[in-house]
């Protein structure tokens, strides 16, 4: 799973290139699936709408990763995908997936591992659901930075990602800045003490196997 990022790049010729403007909906939760996507350039956030009507951001897709895999076989999309900036994606229909796997048998393993990774994300959300906000923030900040490198996100968006208020996020971020755990500059959160953040993440006794196994790019 370590080399999932950009692993699907050799098969882009089988997909349909699409360009979206900022704040565009790529697919919406509950709609009939029309295949899956590969993020080539830009940014995608994945949101989940609860039965109570509360929408929460559950993931930011790193460039070079698949998303919307649950939309194959005309299955309803379990989440929604929206662009956070001008974005280029490749769409793969069920027919395209079959053709890719027929011509490149190794692609089936890549697709399956990508699905497994998405279940891992859900496991993380469930594991940290009732944890203190500071512990959740430490976990998701480490995840964002490690998957995307330097990552720009405003405090309102980060609050939606955690499922808390902007005031709470601001209070904890400023606390961390004072403790020299992070630095804040132009919407970018720079980690100064990664070991301290990991300690905060694990402070509640939650340990997910291979928590730091991330989708690093295969590019050198």
User: Could you read off the pLDDT of 16-54 as tens digits, one per residue?
Assistant: 999 999 999 999 999 999 999 999 999 999 998 888 888
DSSP conformation letters of the chain? -TT-BTTTGGGGGGSEEEEE-TT-EEE-TTSPP--EEEEEES-EEEEEE-TTS-EEEEEEEPTT-EE-GGGGGGPPPSSEEEESSSEEEEEE-HHHHHHHHHH-THHHHHHHHHHHHHHHHHHHHHHHTTS-HHHHHHHHHHHHHHHHSS-B--HHHHHHHHTS-HHHHHHHHHHHHHTTSEEEETTEEEES-HHHHHHHHTTTS---TTTT----BS--
Q: Read off the pLDDT of residues 100-142 as tens digits, 9 standing for 90 and up.
A: 999 999 999 999 999 888 888 778 777 777 788 999 899 888 8
pLDDT band at 58 (very low <50, low <70, confident <90, very high): confident
Per-residue confidence band for 83, with pLDDT thresholds at 50, 70 and 90:
very high
Percent of the chain predicted with pLDDT > 90: 55
């Amino acid at each position: 799973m370590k080399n999932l990022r950009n692993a699907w790049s050799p098969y882009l010729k089988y997909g349909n290139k699409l360009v979206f403007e900022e704040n565009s909906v790529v697919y919406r939760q509950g709609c009939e699936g029309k295949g899956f996507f590969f993020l080539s350039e830009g940014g995608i956030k994945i949101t989940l709408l609860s039965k109570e009507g509360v929408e929460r951001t559950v993931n930011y897709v790193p460039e070079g990763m698949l998303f919307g895999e649950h939309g194959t076989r005309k299955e309803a999309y379990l989440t929604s995908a929206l662009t956070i900036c001008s974005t280029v994606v490749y769409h793969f229909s069920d027919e395209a997936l079959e053709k890719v796997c027929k011509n490149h048998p190794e692609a089936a393993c890549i697709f399956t591992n990508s699905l497994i990774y998405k279940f891992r994300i859900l496991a993380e959300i469930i594991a940290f659901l009732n944890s203190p906000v500071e512990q959740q923030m430490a976990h998701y900040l480490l995840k964002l930075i490690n998957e995307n490198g330097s990552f720009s996100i405003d405090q309102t968006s980060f609050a939606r990602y955690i499922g808390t208020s902007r005031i709470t996020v601001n209070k904890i971020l400023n606390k961390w800045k004072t403790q020299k755990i992070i630095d804040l500059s132009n919407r970018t959160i720079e980690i100064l003490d990664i070991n301290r953040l990991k300690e905060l993440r694990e402070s509640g006794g939650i340990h997910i196997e291979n928590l730091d196994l991330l989708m690093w790019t295969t590019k050198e």
